[in-house]
Every structure is written in structure tokens, then in C-alpha cells.
Amino acid sequence: FFEKDNEQLTELITTMHKYCCYKLNIRKIELIKKAFYFAYEAHKSQRRASGEPYFIHPLAVAKKLAEYGFDEEVVAAGLLHDVIEDADVSKETLEKLFGKKIADLVDGVTKLTRIGHKSHVKNLQKILLATVGDPRVIIIKLVDKLHNLSTLEYLDERSRKKYAKMCLEVYVPIAHRLGMHKLKDEMEDLAFKFAYPEEYEKLREKVFNRAEALKGVLNEVSETLTNAFQKKRLNAEIIIQPKTLFSIHAKMNKLHKTLDEIFDFLVLLVLVNNVDDCYKALGIIHQHFIPKPKKIKDFIAVPRNDLYQSLHTTVLTPEGNAVKIYIRTKEMEKIRNMGIIYLLHKSKKHPIEIQPIWIKNWLKSLGEFLSDYKGKSNFLKVLKADFLGETISVFVSGREKISIIKGATPLDVAYAVSEDIGNRCLEAKVNGKTVPLWHILESHDSVEFKLADKPVVKKEWLDFVAMVKTKSLIKKALKKIEREINEPKYANLRLKLVDKPGVLHRITKIMFDEQINIISVHSVLDGYPHICNLTIRYDNEKQLEHVIEKLDKMSEVLDLNYHIL
């Protein structure tokens, strides 16, 4: 065992002592040592694309997990996360050596296979399914992806782009949904660099050239606010915070703007001690700088679905420069950076045994999504569009709060509540006012529905609903309606007839004129009146209505009863 590897082990344990949110003892440290040596031996003969020992990868993952404050189980799983996949170690062996919890974590992040697009989808489904049982699985996987992104330069260009785009499309949004913004920011800029290298370099150069001038403006605002806060005895820390290059790139594309038209690629972050101080700081800022009214947002009173809380304001300097400012508490900043990790640590118990309600709700929605779409051909499409997209919260009938993608309509909400409500939706009210079904909802809107007695699905609905799942349910309902229309229908008619020549001939002619087939005829001629039982096949309700109407008008028909078969 090389001396530098012993140094790496010492560094890992030191990192755990520094950041771990759980008490460490000799037994736990021995478990880490055991996992370290085992992973080292398992990967000893393997090399990464860079030519370096493969072991540097699981070690880097374990260190990152230690920096995130995780306990010995998760750090050990980080060290061991590739031994099943790449070193032919069985799950049973891991369970025998390290216990069931660690073996389950390692198995959760292990791929089923490594060949083809379909295998990528199956592997993702497996990881997400394991995450429903233990959310730490996806955290280990995200850290694994982050380190792989940091070493992508050693792969060929095609492989680099493919891996980076997959991370941007799937794993970055997962990190965002889990509130892990620090990891998300690191991951998306690394992925942007390799997925779109030309765009990345051009934007990086432009941002660098403009940053110095903007920093000067922000420093002046920061100095003014520091003095103002001190006079009001408000304890606050002011930081100049850059936005990620990818978020700038995405904003430019979304708004069809150039970098010269975007001012907030650098923002001021004001950190205070408590919520009251957030609002005090906002008031002081607006006393010294003119705010832009439509740019003031309160994500403290109305938190976002990804756990994010903050006050946002955009102010104008005396020279007319626009400056965006975020105000939040230090705890909000920790939650903003760590998200689900912070909540798991705060619960102080094993995440499977007790979880904050936000985590439970997210895992429940993930489980429901997997139940609906696991194994289906459009799994990845729906995952990206519906489950990983930016979300808002709305209230149904003023009570039930549901999370739905941004840009959703009342009809999307109706189908999210239940398929039956969606199919029978006639009209909607938003915040007490009747709106078209294509109305775009905003966060915390209250939605009510007026329902028909039976399905009223229209093909035009497909033109404006936002969610892939909604479109699938509408198409399903339309197919069912079409099938019901085209399927032959049967009915029995019981007629009491006058004994008169040609009566049956007239009845047969009515059926022929309405294009209705007589399947069978059974007449009882004994007694009076005569009884005639007909079994008919028809295509739609109007046909049957016309026949009944014509038969009723016949003077020879004394009585008529029918029932649908």
C-alpha cells in the first residue's frame, strides 16, 4: 500500500471529522478504512481514460460526500459504488462484509448494462426506483456524475458530448428539483463546456470582458449598502455572486437576447441572520436605490417547489445601471446550496426512518411517476418534460395543493387530479373567475372545475395542454370514444302489434331505411295483440332514436319497449 494512498485515507477521515453531521467513533472510522482498502484492491488493476488509477474516482466521490456531511454508510458506499459494476463483486459479498444498508446503496447506483440508448433508460429507471426507497442513492449518483464530468477531457469528442448532454437533460434537472443548487451549478457549467464547447468559449470570453465593469458598479452599490446597514445596526454580509455560464446561455436563448441586453450575470447576495432582517434589508435597499416594481419577488412568503427561499429585487443606480439583489438568511443559503442533503441532516435520524414532509412528497410523486411510466417507450420524454421541468404550486378547490409544471393550464391540473375529472371538464375558474381551459396558470392560483356527467374530450385540447402525460390521457380518451362510436351496438325491441297484413314488412323497411340490421325475429301470434321480439344491431344512438320515433308513429304498434344489450 503506497504512502500517498495512506495519506488519502487520512485526508478522507479528516474531512469527515470536519464536516460530518453525525457522531464519529472508532467503529465507524474502521468501517471507512475497511471500505477504502476493499475498493482500492478491487480497482487496483484498473485505469481511467486519463491513465490514472481508477481508484481516484470512487475516492473523489467519497470525499465529496464527506464534504456534504454524510455519515460512514454513505461515504463507504461512495468508495464502493463501482465495485459491483466494474470489479465483479457481488451484492451478497458486500452485504456480508459491510451490511445490508451499504450493499443496497451500492446496488442502487449500479448500472444494469452499459450498451445502447434503451439500457440508459433502464439504468435510469433502476436508479430512480432505488431512490424511492432511499433518497441517498440519487445523491451518490449525482456526485458520481459530477466527478466524471470533471475528467471528460480524456474521452473522445463524441463520447464527451453525449455524456455531457445527458447530464444537462437529466441529472442537472434532478439536482435542481432536489434543491441541490451548488452541485447543480457545478454540474451544468462542466456539462455546458463539453456539450457545446464553441458556445461555451464564446460566452465565457464575453462574460469575462464585461464582468470587470459590472463588478465596479456592484462594488459601489455594496459599499453604499454596507454603510447603510451599519447605521441601522443590521448585521449583514454582502457577496458578489456570479451566475453560471449555462444559466446565462439558457436565459439568452429563452428571451432571444444578446449578452449586452442581460445585466444580471453578476448579482449581489445579502446574507442576514433571520427572516425579519431580510425584510429590513429590503426596506433599507429601497431607501437608497430606486426599485423596479415588477422585479420585486418574495420567495420567503411563497417558497419555490425546489426549497428555494429568498427576496429578489432589481434596483437602479444614480447612473441608471440595473443591479439585481438577492436577500436571504444564512440558513436559507445553506438550504439553497444543499437542498435535500440539508433536510436529511436536519432530521438527525436515518432518512428512511424519518423524512421531512417535502422529501416524502417528492419521493411519493417519483414513485407514482415510475408506476405510470416505467417500461414505457415515452418514459424519458415524460420524465424530462413533466417530472423534471420547473414547477409551480396550485390549489384545487382552495384546498388540495398540487405541484405542476410551469406553463400548465387548468386542463393539465384537472388531469393531474384524476383522469375522470380531466375527461369531464367543461370549464374552469381561476381565483374565482371563469377562464378558458387554455389559460396559463401562475404559482398559488386556486382552480375549480365545472364537470359534465360524461366525457366531453375534444381533439383541440391537444393543441394547448402543456404536459406530455395530459396529452397521452386525452389521446387515450379520444381513442376510447372513437372505438365506442365504431363498435356495433345491440338492442332488443318488444312490440305489441295489431293483427294486420304487411305490418312486419313495414317494420323491416323502417330498419332498412335507417341502415339497421335485424339479427333475429321472434313472434308470438297466439292471442291478441301479437307480440314481436326483435334483436337489432345499430351504429349510433341517433339511428336507434329515429327507429323508435318512426315505430311509435305506426298505428299498428300498440306498445313498444326496448333495452340496450
pLDDT tens digits along 340-362:
998 888 765 544 444 556 777 77
Ranges for all domains in the chain classified under CATH 1.10.3210.10 = 3-195
pLDDT at 323 over 80: yes
Please compute the mean of the pLDDT values over residues 301-315 and round it to a whole number.
89
How far is it, in rounded angstroms, from Cα 15 to Cα 63? 7
Q: For the domain bounded by 3-195, which CATH number is listed? A: 1.10.3210.10
Query: pLDDT tens across 162-182, in order?
Result: 999 999 999 999 999 898 999
Q: What is the mean pLDDT of residues 82-103?
A: 94
Are 382 and 137 within 8 A, CB to CB? no
Percentage with pLDDT > 90 across the chain:
60
Residue keyed to cell 323502417? 510
List 85, 199, 220, 427, catalytic entry: 85
Q: What is the mean pLDDT of residues 464-492?
A: 87
What pLDDT sits at residue 115? 46
Quick check: 126 pLDDT over 70?
yes
Tens digits of residue pLDDT in 257-285: 998 888 888 999 999 999 999 999 999 99
Q: Which CATH superfamily is domain 390-484 in?
A: Beta-grasp domain (3.10.20.30)
Q: Where in the chain is the domain with CATH 3.10.20.30?
A: 390-484
Identify the burial level of 477 via C-beta atoms within 10 angstroms of its C-beta, where 0-12 means exposed, 13-18 middle and 19 or more buried.
Answer: buried
Contact 64, 147 (CB under 8 A): yes
**219-256 confidence digits (pLDDT tens):** 999 999 999 999 999 999 999 999 999 999 999 998 89
Pairing between β-strand 530-538 and β-strand 489-497 as defined by DSSP bridges: antiparallel
Residues of the chain with CATH 3.30.460.10: 199-338
Q: Which of 25-29, 38-42, 381-385 has the lowest mean pLDDT?
A: 381-385
Residue 322 has pLDDT above 90, yes or no: yes
Q: Is the pLDDT of residue 399 over 80?
A: no
**Residue range(s) occupied by CATH 3.30.70.260 in the chain:** 488-564
pLDDT attached to residue 306: 77
Better pLDDT: 482 or 173: 173
Task: Determine whether domain 199-338 maps to CATH 3.40.190.10.
Answer: no
Architecture in CATH for domain 488-564: 2-Layer Sandwich (3.30)
Interval 105-120 mean pLDDT: 74
Coil vs helix vs strand at 537? strand
Q: What is the pLDDT of residue 366?
A: 85
Contact 326, 108 (CB under 8 A): no
Q: What is the dihedral of CA 37, 40, 43, 45, to 10 degrees?
A: -110
When the pLDDT of each residue in the chain is averaged and rounded to a whole number, the result is 89
With bands split at pLDDT 50, 70 and 90, how would you rate the model's confidence at 147? Answer: very high
Mean pLDDT of 31-58: 93
Element (H, E) at 402: strand 400-405
Looking at residue 53, what DSSP letter applies? Answer: B
- 85 carries an active-site annotation: yes
Note the pLDDT of residue 350: 47
Of the residues 5, 72, 73, 86, only one is catalytic, namely 86
